[in-house]
Amino acid sequence: MVNKKITGRWRSERLGALGSAIFAEIAGWKEDALREGIDVIDLSIGSPDLPPAPIIREALSREVMLSERYAYPASRGSAAFRHKAAEWLRWRFGAELCPDHELVTLMGSQDGLAHLALAVTNPGDAVLVPDPGYPIYAASLAIAGVESIKVPLRAEHGFLPDLDAITEEQWGRARFILIGFPSNPVASVAELSLLEKLVVLAKRHQVLVVHDLAYSELAFDGFRPPSILQVPGALDIAVEFHSLSKSFNMAGCRIGFLAGNREAVGALRDLKANIDYGVFDAVQQAGITALDADMRRQLEPVAPIYQRRRDLFVPALAEAGWQVPLPRATMFIWAPLPPRAVSKGWSGRRISREMVKQAGVAVVPGEAFGEQGEGYVRIALVEPEERLAEAASRIGRFLNAID
C-alpha cells in the first residue's frame, strides 16, 4: 500500500491537488504483483514501446559527438528546429506560421501543458477543461491557482464536448478552453467542423482555445486528425501543442512545440525563458531529421502498428466476454467496465486492482482522469501483439472466475 503524505512542513498544499496519488497507487499494485512473482503485462502507461526509426537515432548519435552541441541551448528552441516545425505544419495541415513569433520549442508538450496556465492566466481565473482529461490539464490549473470548469465528455455525446452546453456565464469567466483530439484517455476524435465551431464560439467570447494534438499521426483506417491551425482565423484565438513523442517514438528524447496565437506563444516563451534553457541541441537536430524524413516519406509510419494491435486485441477481448469500442485513433481503448464487474458493484479502481493481482494485466481506472471516468478503464496498446493476445486470454479467464 502506498502511503502518500499530502501535507507537511516542506510539502506545498498545491501538490495535494495534482491527482497523482492514484497513479502512485497503480504503481504500488504492480510492484506488489511483481514481488509475488507475477508476470505483469503493463497496459497502464501511455509510453510508446518502440524506438525511434534508425534514421532518427543515427542523427542523434552523430549530433551528440559534435562539440558545439554542448552550449546552453536557446530556451525558445533553435531557429532551425522552429523553421522545420513550421515547414512540417505547412506540409501536413496547410497552416502558415511564423517560426519566430508563432512557435516555441518545448521539452515535450507536457512541459508546455504544465506551464501554459502560469503564462496566460492570473490566480483566481477560470479555465474550461475536459473531464475525463489527460492529468496534466487539471494539474496545471491547480499549480497556477486557477479554477477548473469541467466540460464533461460523455458516451451519449460521442465523448466529445457538448459546446452548446457551456453556459454564457462559464464562457464569460474562462480565460481559455483546453481540448485534445484524438483524446487521451477516451480515444475519441474530432472532425474539423468541431474545431471550426469552437473557433467561432471562442472568438465571440474572447477565450483562448488550447488544442493538444499529441496523436495527430496516430489514427487508423485512413482517418487524418485535423489541426485547429487549419481553421481560417485560428491564429487570432488558438494555440496547439505538438509532440514528437508518439508520432516518432521520441518520448525519451523529448521534444515538442506550441504553435499559434503569438501573444499566447510569446507568454509561454517568456515564462520558460526563466525556467529552463530548452532542449538539448542534439535532440532538436534529431527532431529536425524526424520531421524532414516524415515529409520525404522516409519513415515507416507508426499508426499501422497500433492499428494491427487494436484489430487483434478488441476482437480477442470480445471473445473473452468484454465488448469495447474500436478506437479510430490513439494507443488507447476506453473500455466500459465488463458486465460481470458491474453486477458485482465494482469500481474501475477495484477491477484494475483485481486484474493486476489475479490476471497480471495492468490498466488505469477511469477515475484517474476525472469524475466522469468512473465506470471505465483505460487500456494502452503498448505491448507487442503476442503479449496483447496473452493479455486478452488472461482477462478472459479472470472474468470467467468472477462469480
Nearer to ligand PLP among residue 330 and residue 352 (C-beta): 330
How far, in Å, CA of 364 to CA of 377, rounded? 6
Nearer to ligand PLP among residue 307 and residue 394 (C-beta): 307
3-state SS track over the chain? CCCCCCCECCECHHHHCCCCHHHHHHHHHHHHHHHCCCCCEECCCCCCCCCCCHHHHHHHHHHHCCHHHHCCCCCCCCHHHHHHHHHHHHHHHCCCCCCCCCEEEECCHHHHHHHHHHHHCCCCCEEEEEECCCHHHHHHHHHHCCEEEEEEECHHHCCCECHHHCCHHHHHHEEEEEECCCCCCCCCCCCHHHHHHHHHHHHHHCCEEEEECCCCCCECCCCCCCCHHHCCCHHHCEEEEEEHHHHCCCCCCCCEEEEECHHHHHHHHHHHHHHCCCCCHHHHHHHHHHHHHHHCCCCCCCHHHHHHHHHHHHHHHHHCCCCCCCCCECCEEEEECCHHHHHCCCCHHHHHHHHHHHHCEECEEHHHHCHHHCCEEEEECCCCHHHHHHHHHHHHHHHHHCC
Binding mask 116-135 for ligand PLP (x = CB under 6 A): ------------------x-
- Smallest gap from residue 92 Cβ to ligand PLP (A): 17
Nearer to ligand PLP among residue 151 and residue 392 (C-beta): 151
- Smallest gap from residue 110 Cβ to ligand PLP (A): 3
Angle, in degrees to the nearest 10, between helices 348-359 and 385-401 = 110
- Smallest gap from residue 332 Cβ to ligand PLP (A): 8
Binding test (CB under 6 A) with ligand PLP, winner from 256, 287, 327, 370: 256
Q: Which of residues 155-214 bind ligand PLP (CB under 6 A)?
A: 180, 184, 212, 214
Q: Which of residues 275-334 bind ligand PLP (CB under 6 A)?
A: none
Binding mask 203-242 for ligand PLP (x = CB under 6 A): ---------x-x----------------------------
Instruction: Give the length of the chain.
Output: 403
Nearer to ligand PLP among residue 210 and residue 251 (C-beta): 251
How far, in Å, CA of 37 to CA of 177, rounded? 45
Tell me which stretch binds ligand PLP (CB under 6 A): 193-201, 231-239, 246-254, 295-303: 246-254
Binding test (CB under 6 A) with ligand PLP, winner from 105, 243, 261, 289: 243
Nearer to ligand PLP among residue 115 and residue 353 (C-beta): 115
Start-to-end CA span in the chain (Å): 26
- Smallest gap from residue 167 Cβ to ligand PLP (A): 26
Binding test (CB under 6 A) with ligand PLP, winner from 46, 99, 287, 327: 46
Nearer to ligand PLP among residue 185 and residue 360 (C-beta): 185
44 binds ligand PLP per the rule CB under 6 A: no
- Smallest gap from residue 343 Cβ to ligand PLP (A): 32
Nearer to ligand PLP among residue 93 and residue 137 (C-beta): 137
Nearer to ligand PLP among residue 246 and residue 387 (C-beta): 246
- In what order do the strands lie in the sheet containing 147-152? 103-106, 256-260, 238-243, 208-212, 174-179, 126-131, 147-152
- Smallest gap from residue 130 Cβ to ligand PLP (A): 10
How many residues sit in the footprint of ligand PLP (CB under 6 A)?
Answer: 15
- Smallest gap from residue 321 Cβ to ligand PLP (A): 29
- Smallest gap from residue 9 Cβ to ligand PLP (A): 32
Binding mask 73-112 for ligand PLP (x = CB under 6 A): -----------------------------------xxx--
What are phi and psi for residue 259, nearest 5 degrees? -135, 140
Contacting residues toward ligand PLP, per CB under 6 A:
46, 108-110, 134, 180, 184, 212, 214, 243, 245-246, 251, 254, 256
